[in-house]
Amino acid sequence: MDFTQETEDVLLGYMAMQHADPETAGGAWHELYRRHHRYFIAVLGRAHGKDLGGPDGAIDITIEAFRELYEWAGRQHDPDAVVAKFTGSSPEATRIKVLGYMTEIAKNIFINQVRQDSRGPARVEFDDEAWESEWHRRSQNPVRRPSPALIARYEQALALLSEREAEVLRLSLPWYDPDKGNDGEFDFPPGEAERVATSIGTTPENFRQIRSRAIRRARAALDTVQLTPATKGDLR
């Protein structure tokens, strides 16, 4: 299922269906994570990196915030009510509502963690201005989204792979960063590759090997579905 054109409120509605349709709920969660995890990591690291002990602390809180959001959605009984709760007057207003809710989750995780680390109820100030500044910067430079036509071609290529290879690629793509390295890299947060590998009953090393093999076969499959060389270069 293609989630790339869905607004954030609809993604949350799908996430609320996780008991009836866990595959759809997981796919919606991955899309929400793909769009916004760098925003949370960046602002936490910039504003509170010292309190968190460096970049890894910002990554840990970001992952925990997305997990808590998923768990919250799973406790909701009416997906339509979840959608209505976050629907704004425009896609941008909807996005702000969802990120605002997630910011509150991240704030609570951050404050509780710092309090635990300090072994006392020390007062912690959360830098709201940093969040607003980062949101403005990110909204001016949104993450590129693949076109529906490109997604359709990718699906054609994935259909030519084995079921296992296609599954591994789909599970890995939310963490693909086209801006890292010369050709882009899979940028899993610490521990996430292990969690994903375990979820399909394999080891992280085998997961990586299957992904490498799947990428080679997918590139060959892209020739089969007659993509242009420039488009083929998007899959690394």
List the one residue out of 24, 4, 2 whose CA is nearest residue 13: 24
List the one residue out of 116, 11, 143 whose CA is nearest residue 60: 116
Query: What was the pLDDT predicted at 98?
Result: 92
List the one residue out of 183, 169, 178, 161 whose CA is nearest residue 212: 169
d(CA 157, CA 193): 24
> What residue spans define the domains of the chain?
8-140, 148-232
Contact between 87 and 79 (Cβ < 8 Å)? no
Residue 83 has pLDDT above 90, yes or no: yes
Q: Which helix (H) or strand (E) holds 30?
A: helix 22-52
Residue, of 123 and 6, whose pLDDT is higher: 6
Query: What was the pLDDT predicted at 193?
Result: 81
User: If one looks up domain 148-232 in CATH, what number appears?
Assistant: 1.10.10.10
Residue 123 has pLDDT above 70, yes or no: no
Does the predicted model carry a pTM greater than 0.85? no
Query: What was the pLDDT predicted at 232?
Result: 41
Q: How far is CA 113 from CA 40, 117, 200, 223, in A?
A: 16, 6, 31, 50
Residue 229 has pLDDT above 50, yes or no: no
Band of residue 126 on the pLDDT scale cut at 50, 70, 90: low
Q: How far is CA 43 from CA 132, 187, 191, 198, in A?
A: 9, 18, 21, 30
